Amino acid sequence: MSNTNVLTLIGALLAGYFLLGLPLGGTFLAAFGPAIKIIAILTVLVFAAVLIYKGILDLLGKQ
């Protein structure tokens, strides 16, 4: 597994995590708050699952 690929996946995971804590109150994005939270949760779950899957494949020596 290439280093760049792993760093990209970790970056996307962190972006989803920080999107969860984004304060939207008082901004024009406050109306989209629930949708943004759902997108953030899905982002974290998907990229965490991909990282776990790639890690298991790497441990087993498969590409």
Residues 6+ apart with CB under 8 A from 29: 36
pLDDT in tens, 26-52: 899 899 999 999 999 999 999 999 999
Domains of the chain by residue range: 3-60
What 3 state SS string does 9-61 have? Answer: HHHHHHHHHHHHCCCCCCCHHHHHHHHHHHHHHHHHHHHHHHHHHHHHHHHHC
For 15, what's the count of Cα atoms within 13 Å in the CB-facing half-sphere? 10
pLDDT, residue 17, reads 94
Model confidence, pTM: 0.82
pLDDT band at 18 (very low <50, low <70, confident <90, very high): very high
